[in-house]
Structure 1
Amino acid sequence: MGRLTINNHRKGRTVLSTDHAMRHDHLVQKIAHLYHVSGATQLEIASSENLSRATVSRLLAEAKRRGVVQIRIGPPVDRMPELEATLRTAFNLDDCVISMDRPRSLYEKNNRLGYVAARYLQTHLDGVRQLGVAASRTLSSVAKSLSPGVHAELTVIDLLACPSRLDRSGDERIHVGEHICQQLGGNFIPVPANFLYRDPAARFKALESPEVAYGLELGPRSDLALLGLGSMQRFDGTGTYSPVSPGALADLEAAGAAAHLCGHFFDHEGREVKSEVTDRLIGITLDDLLKIRRRMMVTAGPAKVVPLAAAIRGGFVNELVTDESTARQLLANLG
């Protein structure tokens, strides 16, 4: 096959040859690939292909019009929208995010949960002027997964006391609230004290600090609380020692405790259970936590299913980020 048509100068028009059309189609595809796949800018493409920027823009528009570029919109592949909707309805949650369980993944399970939670947090900060953070191991993975941003209007505040770090040269050398604040590009207000004290007198002295008092006063005024959740298997606190022994945890469990949150224990119905640390910690109370409109909890794992059910019954969480296995077990226990 030679040519589709021939040049017709007598009629004052020129028709493109088949070869020319093929070269044009190849150029359209190349420009589209450079822009949409390789990430080159229109200016860079124009320079490398000896084209004007207007021509590049026209070719990109043609690529969409002719179906060279096809846009498909669907749910994120690492989330499970149908299961999320089921959980929202079953537990009357304002929102629910579930990371998909995968047998193989670039991320370990905790890191994947942290990544999904971080992405959800960063896309749901509209109207949040103050973010309260209750430091935990799980939230540490969230902090590491946040993309650097600039939220000059955002204040991040500790909901639990945490000693200041002298060396802030690395992520591991600062505590979770401050790390989250650095990633989001906001302003940080600490509660510079130990979370738990062996000596009640030392705790009372710490409470006299204007900085500590100011931070504790601001905490319940947060627009969003970012929370982890503790099971009855362990209690580390955020300090340098484990304040509750395994034996004491067993006694608390025998007394009805099902979980702990912000250092406070509660039973299967979400009612607080007094413990030996209640009067030795510095941080937000469960009653004050309920004053915060949005309470976002990030937790997952077999040991967290019963505690999570209790936290939901107590109203301590209305936005949940968890994984597929935990969500399915939570629903199974409901039945």
Structure 2
Amino acid sequence: MASDHAVRHDQLVQKVAHLYYMGGANQMEIAASENLSRATVSRLLAEAKRRGVVQIRIGPPVDRMPALEDTLKAAFGLDACVISMDRPRSLYEKNNRLGYVAARYLESHLDGVRQLGVAASRTLSSVAKALSPGVRPGLTVIDLLACPSRLDRSGDERIHVGEHICQQLGGNFIPLPANFLYRDPAARLKALESPEVAHGLALGPQSDMALLGLGSMQRFDGTGTYSPVSPGALAALADSGAAAHLCGHFFDHDGVEVPSVVTDRLIGITLAGLLAIPRRMMVTAGPAKVAPLAAAIRGGFVNELVTDEATARELLATF
């Protein structure tokens, strides 16, 4: 009972803070709607600050472009679109600025999300670093792509992105403890027999929201420890129609999957499994990502997009 009470209390702290700071309600209005005294509301708001539910951050302006966001959203049928304004000078480098803007959007749009799936990538690493520490006991973060145990210190920080995001958001983490790619098919099949791996793979498509990067045809470096798709093989895939890769899977300009040399060598969510997740938030930008992004949108793999001004304008030119 004590545990149930604690969970309900945490949920009330978060709800009161959201009503006050995000909903614009005053303390008397919250007290009336939640059947609380004004003194209780005041104590809950103070607790929210003390426990990190509410953080006050001073940083670069989150300069967005609402008109361009609306245009891109309507043109491509997106559910949400966040576009960071390009500036000639910034306190952050371009990639870090994109991660900062994406982090602010993610933090403020987690209502109703009980399970967040993360497909580790370099881009999402910048999002993880920009997140403010919080407390969300009702949130579970799960790896959508297999990642070795943290006991494996390979030096590739991407294998820790999902856990890093979970630590920053203050949730509970479920790993997918295996290698993402295997040279030996027998070793992959052995890994798939693990109950933890089977559990993680089954949970992935049940996520409420997926956090994604996007790969172009310029590179595919897999785990970072070796290159499973050589430049020559990438060129051959591009010649056969491949336009991009997502979660290790290649697809063409219409978003139709293209078989590759790694199709049967990876452990992670499938493209069909990804489409089962209601909210698919993609963070990507850059000239090399325009054609891949257009293909990902056509395939339905993204319905919430965070990008920058230059990429958005080039993307609109493809419409």
| TM-score, L = length of structure 2 | 0.79
The secondary structure found in structure 2 opposite 1:113 is: helix
CA distance in 2, matches of 1:196, 1:148: 31
Report the Cα distance in structure 2 between the residues aligned to 1:165 and 1:139, rounded to whole angstroms.
18
Corresponding position of 1:91 = 76
What residue number does 1:134 align with?
A: 119
Residues 286 and 165 of structure 1: CA distance in aligned 2, closer, same or farther (over 3 Å): same
Q: 1:196·1:239 contact (CA, 8 Å) conserved in 2?
A: no
- CA contact under 8 A between 2:216 and 2:244: conserved in structure 1? yes
Structure 2 residue 314 is matched with structure 1 residue 329: yes
- Secondary structure of the residue that 2:264 maps to in structure 1? helix
Task: Kindly provide the amino acid, as one letter, of the partner of residue 305 in structure 2.
Answer: L
Q: Which has the larger radius of gyration?
A: 1
Structure 1 match to 2:270: 285
Find the residue that maps to 2:106 and give its secondary structure: helix
Give the whole-Å Cα distance in 2 for the aligned partners of 1:137 and 1:174: 10
Q: Partner residue of 1:178?
A: 163
Query: How many Å separate the matches in 2 of 1:198 and 1:172?
Result: 21
Residue 172 (structure 1) shift: 4.4
The 3-state SS of whatever aligns with 1:280 is: coil
Corresponding residue for 1:217?
Answer: 202
Distance 2:244 2:258 in 1: 10
What pairs up with 1:218-297 in 2 under 5 angstroms? 218-297=203-282
Contact 1:132 1:158 in 2 (8 A): yes
Aligned to 1:104: 89
2:307 & 2:63 partners in 1: Cα distance?
Answer: 12
Q: Distance in 1 between matches of 2:280 and 2:223?
A: 20
CA distance in 2, matches of 1:264, 1:294: 19
Asked if the contact 1:132/1:157 (under 8 Å) is kept, the reply is: yes
CA distance in 2 between counterparts of 1:85 and 1:110 reads: 23
Change (3 A) 1:77 1:143: closer
Runs of 5+ consecutive residues of structure 2 not aligned to the other structure: 1-60
2:98 maps to what in 1? 113
d(CA) in 2 for partners of 1:173, 1:307: 21
Q: Which amino acid aligns with 2:168?
A: Q
Question: For the residues of structure 2 that align with 1:214 and 1:132, how far apart are their CA atoms?
Answer: 14
Checking the alignment, whether the CA contact within 8 Å between 1:118 and 1:145 is kept in structure 2 is yes
Spell out structure 1 runs of 4+ moving beyond 4 A: 170-174
What is the SS of the residue equivalent to 1:279?
coil
1:314 to 278, 289, 299: 299
* Aligned residues: CA RMSD: 1.5
Percent of aligned positions that are identical: 86
Q: 2:183 aligns with which of 193, 198, 201?
A: 198
Aligned residues between the structures: 258
1:234-261 residue CA offsets vs partner (Å, 9 max, x unmatched): 0012352111100000000000000000
Instruction: Tell me if structure 1 keeps the 8 A contact 2:241–2:253.
Output: yes
- Structure 2 counterpart of 1:188: 173
Is 1:258–1:268's contact at 8 Å kept on the other side of the alignment?
yes
Residues 244 and 174 from structure 1, CA distance in 2 versus in 1: closer, same or farther, beyond 3 angstroms? closer
Quote the offset at 1:231 in angstroms: 0.1
In the other structure, the counterpart of 1:51 is: none
Going from structure 1 to structure 2, the CA distance change for 1:173 and 1:198 (only over 3 Å counts) comes to: closer
* Amino acid in structure 1 at the alignment position of 2:119: A
Question: 1:326 is aligned with what amino acid?
Answer: T
| C-alpha deviation, 1:166, in angstroms | 2.0
- Could you list the per-position Cα deviations for residues 107-134 of structure 1 after superposition, in whole angstroms to 9, with x for gaps in the alignment? 0000000000000000000000000000
Matches within 5 A, 1:154-169: 154-166=139-151
The Cα of 1:97 is off from its aligned counterpart by 0.2
Does structure 2 retain, via aligned residues, the 8 Å contact 1:195–1:239?
A: no
Compute the displacement of 1:151 (Å). Answer: 0.5
Instruction: Give the counterpart letter for 2:106 in structure 1.
Output: L
Please say if 1:79 is aligned against 2:64. Answer: yes
